[in-house]
């Protein structure tokens, strides 16, 4: 699988989600940040909005659940139309069971790690996942500064995925921009979430293309 760009609509115009998604036609996925004011200190949107957006969006949806009790809620996001559902390792009571449930419903199962959560304890679980998300900011808000301290973990995660020979994608989320995407790609990430970088650009779709070109250049060297 090549480089994939998945813009986050967190910092887009939430009153016009369908219109905002239409501005990123060349993206691979739309990244939807679901926050519950418990797992993170911010509240965004939930199932009814996701369901409605899935119907109007031409792009597949990648739900990033920053919520408590994902064991209970995550499978419903597949039913709501998301092609990929990410739960947080720190919040899941039974991540293996949850990943299997998401997959059995036809969704791609993905697990996220906050900056202070190590990847090593989850090594044996990697074959159960379609994607691993390494957060490069503390989850909760868009527009934060990229945390370089996460780069070694991206490298270690890439090495573990290669060691197990799995097809699991490696996603990064938080502070990804033209300035930081090359570092992430160099460390081994292949799926890039970018929120403010895309939606603060005059032409969001052109920014998607520029981000993709930078990551591809790193990969091809």
Size of the site for Zn ion (CB under 5 A): 3
Query: What is the spatial distance between Cα 161 and Cα 214, in angstroms, rounded to a whole number?
Result: 23
Q: Which residue spans within the chain are E strands per DSSP?
A: 4-7, 30-35, 61-66, 84-88, 108-113, 131-135, 169-173, 191-194
Q: Which stretch binds ligand DX5 (CB under 6 A): 15-23, 54-62, 171-179, 212-220?
A: 171-179
- When binding is defined by CB under 5 A, the residue of 4, 44, 64, 89 that contacts Zn ion is 64
CA 29/CA 88 separation, integer angstroms: 19
Q: Which of 74, 195, 204, 207 binds ligand DX5 (CB under 6 A)?
A: 195
Our finding on whether 197 is near ligand DX5 (CB under 6 A) is yes
- Which region, judged by CB under 5 A, interacts with Zn ion, from 140-148, 157-165, 168-176, 201-209? 168-176
Q: Is 212 among the residues that bind ligand DX5 (CB under 6 A)? A: no
Q: Is residue 88 within 8 Å of residue 66, measured between CB atoms?
A: yes
Q: Say how many CA atoms lie within 13 Å of 73 toward its Cβ.
A: 20
Q: How many Cβ atoms from other residues are within 10 Å of residue 68's Cβ?
A: 17
Spatial strand order of the sheet with 4-7 comes to 4-7, 191-194, 169-173, 131-135, 108-113, 84-88, 61-66, 30-35
Q: Least CB distance from residue 152 to ligand DX5, whole Å?
A: 20
Q: Is the Cα dihedral 33, 39, 41, 42 positive or negative?
A: positive
Which of 20, 28, 33, 190 lies at the binding interface for Zn ion (CB under 5 A)? 33
Q: Which is nearer to ligand DX5, 117 or 166 (CB)?
A: 117
Based on CB atoms, which residue is closest to Zn ion, 33 or 36? 33
> Other CB atoms closer than 10 Å to residue 135's CB: what's the count?
24
- Looking at beta carbons only, is 95 or 174 nearer to ligand DX5? 174
44 in Cβ contact with 35 (< 8 Å): yes
Reply yes or no on whether 190 is catalytic: no
Measured from the CB atom, the residue of 90 and 123 that comes closer to Zn ion is 90
What part of residues 5-44 is at the interface with ligand DX5 (CB under 6 A)? 8, 10-11, 31, 33
62 binds Zn ion (CB under 5 A): no
Is 173 assigned a catalytic role? Answer: yes
Residues that bind ligand DX5 (CB under 6 A): 8, 10-11, 31, 33, 64, 137, 139-144, 173-176, 193-197
Residues with catalytic function: 33, 173
């Amino acid at each position: 699988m090549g480089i994939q760009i998945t813009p986050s609509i967190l910092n887009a115009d939430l009153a016009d989600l369908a219109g905002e998604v239409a501005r990123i036609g060349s993206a691979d996925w739309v990244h939807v940040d679901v926050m519950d004011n418990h797992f993170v200190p911010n509240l965004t949107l939930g199932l009814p909005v996701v369901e409605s957006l899935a119907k109007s969006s031409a792009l597949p949806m990648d739900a990033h659940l920053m919520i408590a009790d994902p064991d209970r809620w995550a499978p419903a996001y597949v039913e709501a139309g998301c092609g990929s559902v990410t739960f947080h390792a720190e919040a899941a009571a039974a991540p293996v069971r949850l990943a299997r449930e998401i997959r059995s419903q036809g969704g791609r199962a993905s697990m996220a790690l906050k900056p202070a959560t190590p990847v090593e304890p989850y090594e044996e679980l990697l074959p159960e996942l379609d994607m691993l998300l390494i957060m490069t900011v503390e989850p909760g808000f868009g527009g934060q500064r990229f945390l370089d301290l996460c780069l070694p973990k991206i490298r270690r995660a890439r090495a573990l995925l290669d060691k197990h020979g799995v097809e699991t994608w490696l996603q990064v989320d938080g502070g990804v921009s033209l300035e930081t995407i090359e570092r992430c790609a160099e460390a081994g990430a292949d799926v890039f979430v970018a929120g403010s970088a895309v939606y603060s650009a005059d032409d969001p779709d052109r920014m998607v293309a520029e981000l993709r070109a930078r990551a591809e250049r790193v990969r091809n060297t």
